Amino acid sequence: DSFSNTKHKTSDKIIIKGGKIVNDDQSFYLFFLTIFLTSSNVYWLSRLSSTFRQIGENLIVPSGVKTMDAYGHIVIPGGIDVNTCLHAPHLGMNPADDFYHGTRAALAGGTTMIIDHVVPEPGVSLLTAYDQWRDVADKRSCCDYSLHMDITRWHEGMFEELETLIKDKGVNSFLTFMAYKDKYQSSDAQMYEIFGMLRDLGAIAQVHAENGDIIEEEQKRLLDLGITGPEGHVLSHSEEVETEAVYRAITIAKQANCPLYITKVMSKSAADVIAKARKKGLVVYGEPIAASLGTDGSHYWSQNWAEAAAFVMCPPLSPDPATPDYLNSMLSCGDLQVTASAHCTFSTAQKAVGKDNFTLIPEGTNGIEERMSIVWDKAVATGKMDENEFVAVTSTNAAKIFNLYPRKGRIAVGSDADLVIWSTKETKTFSSKTHTMTVEINIFEGMECRGFPVGVISQGRMVLEGGTLDVVEGLGRFVPRKAFPDYVYKRIKARSRMAEARGVPRGNYDGPVHDVISMTKSVPPTPTTRGPSCSGKTATGPARNLHQSGFTLSGTQMDDHIPRRTAQKIVAPPGGRSNITSLS
């Protein structure tokens, strides 16, 4: 068995009765008997039993099988949260919700799989960081997980590391940073190189899109103005700065012909840029998060420092109160595809590290538990999208983009038994007093949401039933993902074939060629004799002073202080102009 992390676990045989099964393409009712799940063997039997080829046919209930009533509810594929940071430390502080608490909260909210970001410290090898994350997550995670790799520093030999991760380690998505200057930020040239590698290896490029250069300048300016509170965070990370970086990332990805996934779409204009790029046919995906769909950035001006600081994340929530509504609409029409949580929580004491300087406040908000309910409440309950689209944006699209489909993201025979029984009518109020997470402040405090999970089945195990959470630490499996997801790469491959630029076949130019003489100090021009000018060496002589070319050969030269000579000579070939390529 290639999956060495398989562990023995207790399993249930569950029959779900009634309920409407909702996939991203269709919904259907089943009579009397709905789904029969077994999971005695973690890898094979946790899938929908293949004994029953057709879901929906009558079936004699074997004895000893647990039944679950789903009448009046819908049964949906478990949510997939593709953006969490449950282990990435900030200034040496570990997030308040680690893999155990985080995945527990995820399950409580109807999310049965997470994809966490591996954030290697710059300079640490990607493989080392990967092993570290695997180690922790295998021990602590309560639900299935997979990993994104963040590229925090360009270095030699990266291609080999990427290749190993993609081919042997089951990681097919990599995040680069356009922000965090002097720490994680990549230059445009580095991003182009990375994107080129990822395309060749069949992975997806993710970007954290904000212009780190401008942010740093603005931070300096605001601190100079004496603004040190959390409002400085949003003032220095303006919406434009996010939009600009999204635009640039898309341009680079277009040039490199690499699929691009924008994590954390927080503002209207950034979403618009993505939508426009998609209209032009680019392979780009956008991910709004629970916070940007559920609340706005007005809280940064809260009088309570602790509350204001709880909202600090990057890119920040937009102070424009119309943003959540707008992003929900974009999500509904398909211009944005995936919802995530970007769950990365720090306790108030941890946030308080930046009490005198907003740039030191650890960034991150909660959302892993609330995500599904927020999308339902803001988009489905308001009539912006239907239940099938709800399944698509919370689960199926993510599974397709990150190559988990149809194992995850679909209720079908043979898929993993990650199911949620979703109540569409009842409401629930978010509060830090009742939530499953450990963090003291919930940014959605007091929000009333329609739609929440009444039953959650993860790996064929009942983990939430009747309001009781029953999770087992370490039960989560690492789910490896293969390269070249079809959903993303079919188009990329076809374009790679089409994108061969072709030169123009011409005769050799044999007209006069300006002779560039290496510069010497105000010596009268010495005539140089040259052979036929088609020697091809004309322009390679002086490497210096190559203005007009973005392709320079060298830096400063030892004779830079000597003024340039302006005399030149035109060399004509002995036979005169004979070729059609010169001007007559």
Judged by CB under 8 A, the chain residues 349 through 378 that form the site for another protein are 349-350, 352-353, 355, 357, 359-360, 362
For residue 581, report the phi and psi dihedrals to the nearest 5 degrees.
-80, -15
Contact (Cβ atoms closer than 8 angstroms) between residue 197 and residue 255: no
- Which residues from 489-528 bind another protein, rule CB under 8 A? 500-504, 506-509, 511-514, 516-517, 519
For another protein, which stretch binds (CB under 8 A), given 318-326, 366-374, 411-419, 557-565?
557-565
Q: Phi, psi at residue 405, to the nearest 5°?
A: -85, 145
AA letter at 179? A
Q: Given the complex with another protein, which of 61 and 570 has the nearer CB atom? A: 570
Q: Is 189 in the site for another protein (CB under 8 A)?
A: yes
Give the CA angle between residues 5, 438, 173 to the nearest 5°. 45
Give the footprint of another protein on residues 137-176 (CB under 8 A). 153-156
How near is the Cβ of 244 to another protein at its closest, in Å?
4
User: Out of 25, 57, 121, 160, which residue is the one contacting another protein (CB under 8 A)?
Assistant: 121
Tokens of 134: 């695997």
Q: 152 vs 295, which CB is nearer to another protein?
A: 152
Q: Choose, by CB under 8 A, the member of 556, 558, 575, 576 that binds another protein.
A: 556
Residues in 243-262 that interact with another protein by CB under 8 A: 243-244, 247-248, 251-252, 254-255
Distance CA 151, CA 154 (A): 7
Q: Which two tokens stand for residue 280?
A: 């032009």
Among 69, 138, 163, 216, binds another protein (CB under 8 A): 216
Exactly one of 53, 279, 497, 547 binds another protein (CB under 8 A); that residue is 547
> What is the DSSP annotation of 219-278?
HHHHHHTT--STHHHHHHS-HHHHHHHHHHHHHHHHHHT--EEEEEE-SHHHHHHHHHHH
Q: Is 333 in the site for another protein (CB under 8 A)?
A: no
Distances (CA, A) of 284 to 30, 167, 338, 492: 37, 23, 12, 11
By the rule CB under 8 A, 295 interacts with another protein:
no
DSSP 67: E
The tokens of 145 are what?
A: 């997980």
Closest separation in Å from C-beta 163 to another protein: 16
What distance in Å separates the CA atoms of residue 76 and residue 358, rounded to the nearest whole number?
41
Q: Which tokens go with 470? A: 């029953």
CB closer to another protein out of 90 and 410: 90
136 torsion bin: left (phi>0), alpha (psi -120 to 50), beta (else): alpha
What residues between 72 and 111 interact with another protein by CB under 8 A? 88-94
Least separation in angstroms between residue 352's CB and another protein is 4
Select 83 or 219, whichever has its Cβ closest to another protein: 219
Per DSSP, 518 falls in state P
Nearer to another protein, 140 or 384 (CB): 140
Instruction: Give the interface segment with another protein, choosing from 99-107, 260-268, 463-471, 555-563 (CB under 8 A).
Output: 555-563
- Measured from the CB atom, the residue of 65 and 553 that comes closer to another protein is 553
Helix (H) or strand (E) holding 465: strand 461-465
Q: Which of 20-28, 65-73, 442-450, 562-570 is the region at the interface with another protein (rule: CB under 8 A)?
A: 562-570
Closest CA to 315 of 339, 338, 340, 288: 288
What DSSP character marks residue 62? P
Q: Can you tell me which of 303, 468, 528, 529 binds another protein, judged by CB under 8 A?
A: 303
Count, residues near another protein per rule CB under 8 A: 119
Contacts of another protein in 308-327 (CB under 8 A): 308
